[in-house]
Amino acid sequence: MNGLIFLAAALAIGVACLGTAYAQARIGSAGAGAITEKPEVAPRIFVLMALPETILLFGFVIAIMILSKIK
């Protein structure tokens, strides 16, 4: 039973990491083009680059919640 709990925690973090990486890759490439055309949008792009990190933090919190169920 503990093996499934560890698997669930690993999936929570792994899927969150993949989602974050995908989102940051898309935002980063679009942001680089936007900054090239209009440098004044750089602060907005930096905020947009930080937003997907919350997905990773949620995955980490869920993994800790799952692991706290181990007896």
Residues 6+ away with beta carbon under 8 Å from 48: 27, 31
* pLDDT tens by residue, 3-16: 999 999 999 999 99
Residue-range domains of the chain with CATH: 2-67 (1.20.20.10)
CA 24 – CA 27 distance, rounded (Å): 5
Mean pLDDT of 63-68: 93
Neighbours of 66 (CB within 10 A): 19
* pLDDT tens by residue, 10-35: 999 999 999 999 999 999 999 999 99
pTM score of the predicted model: 0.79
pLDDT of residue 71: 67
Containing 14, the helix (H) or strand (E) segment is helix 2-37
Mean pLDDT, all residues of the chain: 93
Tokens of 43: 């602060």
